[in-house]
């Protein structure tokens, strides 16, 4: 079971790289076209789809057929994502904790909660869609 979680962490790293590229593209391409107010929620929806897409492509690599493992992997991905968001934001980007928690501010259009929800369920959903479960 431990090897499944190492593989799942590898998949999560691919998701993180995709998410970083997605964020750069948002700032460089989407914001100038539609503005920051609309770019943020559009990006949240797109990132959610991207997480599900990567999960769907790579979930067979885990070679699991246990529902609980896919649910635990989703929780692992959420925990890793939160650690990355807070750790990178504070330690590398130098943001204050107040700035970092703004990713949970739905009023400003940030759909990070949607991304976290999709991240949590995407391993299980992907396994279901692929007929693994």
pLDDT in tens, 41-90: 999 999 999 999 999 999 999 999 999 999 999 999 999 999 999 998 88
pLDDT at 1 > cutoff 80:
no
Domain hosting residue 41, numbered range: 2-129
Tokens linked to 122: 């995407």
pLDDT at 28 > cutoff 80:
yes
8 Å CB contact between 103 and 34: no
Give the residue among 30, 42, 18, 48 at the shortest CA–CA distance from 113.
48
Which contacts (CB < 8 Å, 24+ apart) does range 35-42 have? 37/109, 38/109, 40/108, 40/109, 40/110, 40/111, 41/109, 41/110, 41/111
Number of domains into which the chain is organized: 1
For the entire predicted model, the pTM comes to 0.92
Four-CA torsion 51, 128, 133, 69, nearest 10 degrees: 30
């Amino acid at each position: 079971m431990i090897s499944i979680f190492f593989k799942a962490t590898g998949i999560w790293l691919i998701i993180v790289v995709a998410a970083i590229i997605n964020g750069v593209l948002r700032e460089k391409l989407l914001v100038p076209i539609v503005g920051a107010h609309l770019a943020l929620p559009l990006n949240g929806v797109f990132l959610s789809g991207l997480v599900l897409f990567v999960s769907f492509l790579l979930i067979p690599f885990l070679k699991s057929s246990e529902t609980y493992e896919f649910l635990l992997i989703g929780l692992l991905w959420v925990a890793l994502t939160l650690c990355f968001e807070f750790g990178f934001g504070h330690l590398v980007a130098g943001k204050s904790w107040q700035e970092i928690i703004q990713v949970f501010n739905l009023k400003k259009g940030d759909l990070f909660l949607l991304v976290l929800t999709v991240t949590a369920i995407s391993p299980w959903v992907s396994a279901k869609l692929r007929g693994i479960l």
